[in-house]
Structure 1
Amino acid sequence: MARENQSVVTEFIFQGLSSQPRTQTALFIVFLVFYLFTMLGNMTIITVIRADSQLQSPMYFFLANLSLIDICYTSASMPQMLVNLLTKKRTISFSGCATQMYFCLVFGTTECFLLGVMAYDRYKAICQPLLYPRAMCRKVCIHMVVASWTSSLLSSTVILMVTSQLPFCGPDILNHYFCEVLAVRALACTDTALVDLLIFVFSIFIIFIPFLLILTSYARILVVTLKIQAASVQSKVFSTCGSHLLVVALFYGTCICTYMKLKPRPPQDKDKVVAVFYTIVAPMLNPLIYSLRNKDMKCALRRAMRRPKSLFV
């Protein structure tokens, strides 16, 4: 993170979610269950989509990629947090913190872009059904996913490089449960106005623009759907899009509260609670939301359970 000749601090100490031993034990059990459920749920989604021939459409291609991102995103922070809940020494080196911060930025940013892509896919499928097969062909879908990853890698690299140049000369107590960029920036012993401005600008690109794309896509979908006379068709459209909107509301709502601030304040305890929702709760709920609110996914899961061996072929 900071160069050695710029700082007397050699490591950070996580303050974590609680300092009470009993509370830490309870949190460890809860978050371990969350983590295992996230891994199992998202791996099941990926495996079922890969194995079921009836789920080979752009929507499920993007969903499989979302599940992969959720696995990586959660794994970037939760193992360290679980270890810290069981140990008294909750430290991390500069390089370790930089690595964790970078991967959290990469996976979180990619999820922002991908959720926007998924909303655009639903807009094309519902509002332009005749053009949909060509507009969202396999090649185009792959390009969209690659563009999401590339944009994420580039923006995260810039944010990390700028943050890593800040001098850290104390204190070294990180008021968070992982190396979140705003919490790390708050420990710099220099004016961080330019860094704050950079993070805000990138937040517009990473969070606000995809969120605006999602709102626009669903506004168009709503207009088209309300013109349809058949109630069954309306019900199917709202059911298909409803699961995506639930994920968007949870993920973007908490991200906007955290990052869309021109002058971020020092991290507070409630900021850590908000972070739990977009780093832990949202990735855990994604498989549940998509499997329970999606008829095709539920049918595929039933077929997979009737043929358990097919999941591992």
Structure 2
Amino acid sequence: TAIIALRLEQEELKKLFEELVAYGICDVKIFSFTRNEARDISIEDLLARKPKDLDDSAVAAFLKDKVVLVSGAGGTIGSELCKQCIKFGAKHLIMVDHSEYNLYKINDDLNLYKEKITPILLSILDKQSLDEVLKTYKPELILHAAAYKHVPLCEQNPHSAVINNILGTKILCDSAKENKVAKFVMISTDKAVRPTNIMGCTKRVCELYTLSMSDENFEVACVRFGNVLGSSGSVIPKFKAQIANNEPLTLTHPDIVRYFMLVAEAVQLVLQAGAIAKGGELFVLDMGKPVKIIDLA
């Protein structure tokens, strides 16, 4: 066993880890100075990058004292959006999700701020109920993270993907504009670039529609990024489960590469994009260097 008790940048940590493994030391731990204990090294430690060029003051000014609605609030991205909205001083946070469990979980996570949050169990396909929510709480900003995102499932269920992603986005965007929401930021994906699958196609249509709705009274921006480390259904939790069950790691192809980003970093960049957006922009996040999935395995 080796314990790393140094504050290292990600590249330095990765290099040291590889050298230890080369010497046959595979049980590697990191000493946490904040918790005063050693913990197992994680894949996030090896792949995560320190966010660059983040302007916390701009994000704080953007969110402070605002009423914010987050759709898909219980998902991987949505829940982090909720946490950072509270962190940066949102006056009131409306958390919308159609999953009872996911909404319960994020509501429980933010229980300390219960006076500032309102959980709404609602599908964004329900236009009438959505209008009632917007009329009641009058959000100034909507962060739209609700979507079906798993490529194989969307391929097998194209009708559901189109209904949920495209129609759901249209209904939410229309309702936002009708109810005089000032700014609408949609979370998109790098798979919307020359899409080769159903999920990517639906997100590209969502981009085109929402951006077409942008005007001087309704600022719309879309933010694209790639794979988020540890998000539900992504490759890292899948590999971890296979290892825990002593199963072989499954790859779709040995040459496949992916771009990875920490969820907190991705969300901070989304919020910064929202802060600087003037309406009609499509932001693409710098995902860093690609990682070969076979190396990750």
TM-score of the pair, normalised by structure 1? 0.30
Structure of greater relative contact order (alpha carbons < 8 Å, 6+ residues apart): 1
TM-score of the pair, normalised by structure 2? 0.31
The structure where helix makes up a greater share of residues is 1
The structure where strand makes up a greater share of residues is 2
